[in-house]
Amino acid sequence: MNQIRRNLSTDEQLALLKRGVADLVSEDDLRRKIERGAPLRVKLGADPTRPDLHLGHAVILRKMRQFQDLGHTVIMLIGDFTAIIGDPTGKSKTRPPLTLEETRANAQSYLDQCKLILRDDPEVLELRFNGEWLEPMGYADVIRLASRYTVARIMERDDFKKRFESGTPISVHELLYPLTQGYDSVALRSDVELGGTDQLFNNLVGRALQRDYDQEPQVVMTLPLLVGLDGVEKMSKSLDNYIGLTDEPHLMFAKLMKVPDPLMENYFTLLTDLPQERIAEILAGHPVTAHRELAREVVGWLHPGADLDAAEERFKAVAKGSIPENIPTATISVSELGEDGRVSLARLVALTGLEPSNGAARKLIGNRGLKLNGETYTDGHGSLSREDLGKEGGTVIQKGKDRFVRLILEV
């Protein structure tokens, strides 16, 4: 995905854009829009409820990049206002709302990370916030918008239906969410809206509202939700089954080597540009070789200057139980030690940033997820002495398979 490709035929463009797509409503509409020859306005809305992106987000961002490479304008719409409501999609209970300040703080991280994949060129990238048109709306405006859709149609949504039938409360503001998101498409006059398969209903609402506002309805294109490293749930930071867009090359390489075998074809299709024939050829070979090819493709794409050989060698060394040579170093002052000259290992883990708190560190230790100088450590209330920390070469703390910190006592 490196060059603008405006010279492709309509059929060639459609073939490229349809790769990996789950829903396309409709292909005929998309063909007609492309054949006009004018750049399309392609929208992706994201509520910045969390500040970091992962490869699950990259699936849709790659599709946006393909539109950019074909000369179309993509609109990265930050739902700073809709995030205050909280998208109820897939939720079994009402989500806690965020403040406008929280959503805008998260949004900056979103925008910075999106540009790792998208072309940062004003000709093909437009950045917008839906607070621009939603925040100024008055009560009468909301009533007029609500009059354009029926409760029966809103209740067709599977998650609303299940919650209603089970007696789980549904707040009125949640019923307004699909309308609010759909109105974004009206405000932006989008030609195409992208989203995950879980957003199909919301995006179709936008298509219906555009028609009601005498606009040409947008094409709705959804992509599969990338299943995480646990092989069960969709990729999510909260489930710790994710690969972050900003993960270091060696860490990203190691995580990709752990993708469950049944998901390999999906990962290759959604995260690489390799032809399907080549993917089939790779998957027909040894699984380790296939994982290696996937890791090198994805890491090489997100980290163009990375030393892939070094990342692979580090993975092999760690897999054999070795401690890599080049690992981060952290220092601890003697002032951190107690009167008895000791400090709890849980506190050290938190100080190094491997866990956010002493409690989280104790939980990690109790789950046998931490090693000290290569040996599994299981005492969540254990401590290290000044002599332990002062040994030559420092103390190596390891979280999981490939997160290391060398701790040095500063005297």
The structure tokens listed for 89 are 């999609």
Torsion over CA: 75, 81, 83, 85 (sign): negative
Q: What is the largest CA-CA distance in the chain?
A: 78
Tell me whether strands 403-410 and 395-399 are parallel, antiparallel or unpaired.
Answer: antiparallel
Where are any strands of DSSP class E within 136-237?
192-196, 219-223
DSSP state of 227: B
Q: Was 33 annotated as part of a binding site? A: no
Q: Residue 15, class by beta-carbon neighbours within 10 Å (0-12 exposed, 13-18 middle, 19+ buried)? A: exposed
| SS3 state at 198 | helix
Q: What strand order describes the sheet that includes 375-376?
A: 329-333, 403-410, 395-399, 370-372, 375-376
DSSP string, 48-63: -SSS--BHHHHHHHHH
* Cα–Cα distance for residue pair 298/304, rounded to 1 Å: 10
Q: How far apart are CA 76 and CA 42, in angstroms?
A: 9
Q: Which residue numbers belong to the known binding site for ATP?
A: 237
Q: Which residue numbers belong to the known binding site?
A: 237
